[in-house]
A and B are shown apart, each in its own frame.
Chain A
Amino acid sequence: MSDTPQLPRITATPAAIEAIGRLLADRGGPVMFVQSGGCCAGSTPMCFPAGEFLVGAGDVLLGEIDGCPFYIDAALDRAWHQDRFVLDVAAGPAEGFSLPAGDDLHFIVLSPAGEIPALRD
């Protein structure tokens, strides 16, 4: 698990890139993403103004999208055992303290088939 992966492990769909572009323009500054886990809105990526969430030694940087970093907790990353993440948007308001991805839109991560390596015993 490296903090500076050779290839970014996060990419974004055109809809997500467009949403980030709108956020950057509206806010006049970058945002950051942190993958959540657990109850209620767990499994959802949370979007905050850059620097709002204090990143710790146990967080892994998966890459950046248009200058906006995407982090996941290292233990959660191991549990998810997913090589690549794809950021996308979906209908419905954002949850937790997350910024929305637009009017009645929120960010999600996709787990396309093939991105989760087969389980090894």
Chain B
Amino acid sequence: MLLSGLEFGGTTALREVAQQREVDARPGTAPAVLGVRHLSKSFGPVTALRNVSLDISPGEIHGICGENGAGKSTLVKILTGVYRPDAGNIFVNSAVVSIATPRQAQEQGIAIVAQELSLCPDLSVEDNIWLGSLRVPFLHKRPELRRRAAEALNLLGAGYIALDAPVATLGMGERQLVEIARLLTRDARVLILDEPTATLTDVEIERIFAALLAVKREGRSVLYITHRLAEVYTICDRVTVLRNGELVATRSREELDRGMLIEMMLGRPSGEMYPQETPTHGASALHVEGLSLPGVVTDFAMNARSGEIVCIAGQVGSGAAEIVAALAGLVHDADGRVTLDGKPLKLGSAVRAAQRGIMYVSGDRAAEGVFRRLSVLHNLAATRLREFSLFGFLRGGALRAIASRIAHRIGIDRRRLRSRADELSGGNQQKLAFGRCLERRTGSVLLMNEPTRGIDVGARAEIYRLMRSFCEEGYTLVMASSDLEEILGVGDIIITLYRGRRVGRYARGEVTMHRIVADITHPMEPRA
């Protein structure tokens, strides 16, 4: 590989030379609207960002890729005034600026479209666009503001959104468009989008992309942070890859193929993202018939054998997530005939499900996955307390030993056992959720709901490997996901779902991406 000598084996000095050459060699670019030079930031012993330099040209969509912990969010937080850098400078239009608070960032024309949208759901679209704007005078002309809000929405191709509609009535994608319109009215010159598509459907994603291209045509720039490599190729002009807080390279889209991009992110050849399926399947373990969730799912049936991964594919809102949650006992009005190891299981109680060896890993780590305020040790020991206690007292040493072993198995540094879970990256937090399900009794069922949501490529690969080791331990795995590549990669059995009804069931290799997309978006007729 051409890159390897320079980018991976090379010393820091070499890398700097390479970066410099690249900056110089870029032909015909206008002066950067936003630039950073030699930016560094550490948190105690952990270096989050080391000597990072990059430029964003006017009218450019600039992608930032990297695993969790690569320094993407630190960079964003420095640019938006949440963190101060330890060293290095920020340039706006070639002048050094100091960005100490989010408000100063706004004054410099740098604006972020937050992952957690900052809109007030009960106010109208128009009010939300102007809410908190420094440009609204105390005595303002309402028609003028209204006209400008409409202009901003029109520009984004979102003119169909009614200015008077309460934001609560809009979908997630439309809310993002409103948020972008809000930033446009504030004259943002650089828009930062941090994983904007994580919660959106395909149609919504396309609308966002169209809006970003419109922003670009206006001569404004976009800093686009994403895990999804496909999006890089759809929309970004140039891509900067970060790894372990250092800048690996900035490349234009044409110079970069997918394998190269993955290799740059991981620092090693991408290899097999999805491990091979386990050859042996056990007996039928989990059998579901006539499962109904009022208003969401109608008459769903499935059968899962131990040692295999069953994927339920469906778009957001199709009911796939709810099916998995119902099997975990988390939906109280679920109704259906479920048998586990030949014995019936009554739905509606998480405690009962857990007693039968059903475990649940959610993609929503903060809400139902991880004990964020507790230590890594406590998180890994969470499901084992009964096993490792004597007359109600915990056997601390034994718990520590098992937690340490599990930490090693899931690839978390044992020295971090005492760290709080929320000090870990998203991928590592998710590995904690998986870790607490490992090495439970054989014949357990592991239910997963979007298990890799918001997780980078490296941690994903590790989680897929973990899934296979669950299979080897004789678990039965059921996963709901809307990520089609993932479904095709890990699913031994794939069940497609459309609006709460099962469409098809396929074994591995029997089905193409095209078929699945057709099934979950507009099925022609129900299939066997």
Co-complex (A, B) = no
Q: Which residues on B are within 8 Å of A, measured CB to CB?
A: none
